[in-house]
A and B are shown apart, each in its own frame.
Chain A
């Protein structure tokens, strides 16, 4: 009868899952007010002053995987391309940390990929006209 006992245990786990899912659903909000997320937001907000002109010039685009990517460095003065690349790398490091932190703050580290996907779509949806975003593997201008 060992089969039955294992399945019963699974059923129990399943019910627990249902309860947890329902709890989150009922709450309707994800926890994003943690010090780590606040620090990341602040860091990204500060960097946005540097990135905004790069988005507008098409040098940097919003990629489908929730990162930013060097799309066309041609519009950036030669001497500033290394800094632009550094800003992209730093932004992507912050974004990766942000997605992890949101998943962690909600006690579901395994949600990281879902959080990333959701953000990727929202960054793209909310990009300003003229910015470049990656859709279906291609860069398109909004």
Chain B
């Protein structure tokens, strides 16, 4: 194989290899956000929306 074409092949393969690195560390950001929201809902007990609102009121009195 001539040197030039060998290098070309190597370059193409290297490029595809480096492109694959980005694929390998692909992180499902949207799914993670959904998961985070589900957990935050539970930890902060926000699921019933309105139930969360009174929380800071009496709580504030406690901290003073």
Contacts and interface: CB of A to CB of B under 8 A. Distances in A.
B9 A4 contact: yes
Given A57-B63, A123-B40, A11 B34 contact: no
Interface string A98-142: 100010000010110011001101110010101000000000000
B56 to A, nearest CB: 4
Contact of B34 (A3, A29, A48, A111): A29
A52 B36 contact: no
Given A52-B56, A75-B64, A114-B29, A98 B9 contact: no
A11 B17 contact: yes
B39 A128 contact: no
B12 to A, nearest CB: 9
A18 B20 contact: yes
B23 A18 contact: yes
Interface string B33-57: 1111111101111100000100110
A79 to B, nearest CB: 12
B55 A52 contact: yes
B7 to A, nearest CB: 10
A57 B60 contact: yes
Nearest to A84: B63
A18 B16 CA distance: 12
A28 interface: yes
A14 interface: yes
Contacts of B60: 53, 56-57
Contact of A28 (B31, B36, B44, B64): B31
Nearest to B61: A53
A27 B34 CA distance: 13
A52 B59 contact: yes
A13 interface: yes
A114 B32 contact: yes
A7 B40 contact: no
Given A111-B27, A114-B32, A126 B59 contact: no
